[in-house]
Chains A and B, each alone.
Chain A
Amino acid sequence: MTFDPEKWLTSWRQAGAWSLSRHDPAKEGLRVSAFLPPQALVRCAQELRAARYSLLDISTLEAREGLVVTYHFDSLDEPARLAFRALVSRKKPVAPSLYEVFQGAEWHERESADFFGLIFEGNPNPIPLLLPDDLPGPPPLRKKEADLAPLAKLGLLGQAEILDPDFGDLIGQPVGSGHQGSQAC
């Protein structure tokens, strides 16, 4: 069985992805990634689960446009690391929980909740995991406004095809920009 990136890109496109990216596995470690609307996360995770993928980790970061939650997956049958991401508002950071699909997500989500103040709706045990329950101050990995970098600079998009106009406006790349067209991401 060989990895077919088109299968996932098609599937994510149907799920209403905001953008699709191809990456250079040698440099970035990923084959493909996508920004998905939060409401599509659980369904896409279910597809990955059915295709024998497991959740490696949930890596959150704060960018100027919002909090980016990156879900890294790898297949149990072949080297096929991929990721999808969700962009949530910095003011009201809420993302759906993947607990129902991957039970291991519970801890990763609690860790992100500790560090970034994210709220994962549906997490069965939303209490602090690594930090004390009475920690004062803002979540420790949130950054100052001045230190925030834009998404495009962080290279999260790779060779991206922007599908959603609002998302394109947000990150400053209009729909249809980047790598696309005849090579059809």
Chain B
Amino acid sequence: MDLSLAIFVQIIVAALLVIGLMVGNAVVMVYMERKVAGFIQRRPGPYEVGPWGTLQALCDSMKLLAKQLYRPGNVDIILYYLAPILAFFPVLLLFLPIPFGPYLTALNVNEGIILILAFAGLGVLSNLLAGWSSNNKYSLLGAARAVSQTVAYEIPMILALLAVVFQCGSMDLKNVTEQQGAWPWEWNVLTQPLAFFIYVVSLVGETNRAPFDLPEAESELAAGFHTEYSGMGFALFFLSEYANMLLVSLVAAVFFLGGYKGPVADGFWWIFIKAYAIMFFLVWIRWTFPRVRFDQLLNINWKWLLPLSLLNLWLTAIIVKLLI
């Protein structure tokens, strides 16, 4: 009884911290995205609000909070309001098994990656609901795209992670981290370069970021599945998009880049540095590349990533079998 109460309290505290992390991440990401975009596009980016424009994200969120929640006519009200909430909350859960430090894990789950992959699939449901309930054809097309894209890109993503799981013999994120060393040459990215590449590409597809941002392709579908959302409804989608980005980057850091391990001293700073390095990469390609076409997007997945990840898995299995 006492033990379960302790775990309950731990989860509540962790959940609050994770919400804080999500909001903090969104603030950092908004600033980073705008500053990096400004740098790439040879303009200053935000620089009026606060020192070097650092308070811009705060003002943005204030604006979104204060905005009227406009609901267009003929929407399915329950699903319409449920969708952004449903987009936000599963992401919360996903942070629980991530080992941020040697002793900093909200919930020690020995099959942590299964939990993450299972609940990550829920995110697309919210996109579908949002697109369906908005009573808007752009939203509907965006939702249809979101579903087929996310479902497709989950498969190579899982297969890439599975190769690492084979190699480490564990689905526990902490265990996977512990098997890697502090220095880059001791990381899994060296033994699984193909899996890392596949994971990063499908990560872009999974988080609907440019150049794979087909569900919200601005020039075709206005804003895709969240066309009809304003104010906090939009903000929750926004928040969960950034949280999703952080999550998949954290998983990449854990599985391929040694997690919280790093030179000098292990700790949460290393996992965040690694995750944000990957996120910087995502921002960079977003502002550099044009968008692919939808059939090209699916072709990349089904014709290249999937066979490659299967091949990689097969080779890993053989090598692991031979070495043992």
- Is there direct touching of A and B in the complex, by C-beta distance under 8 Å? no
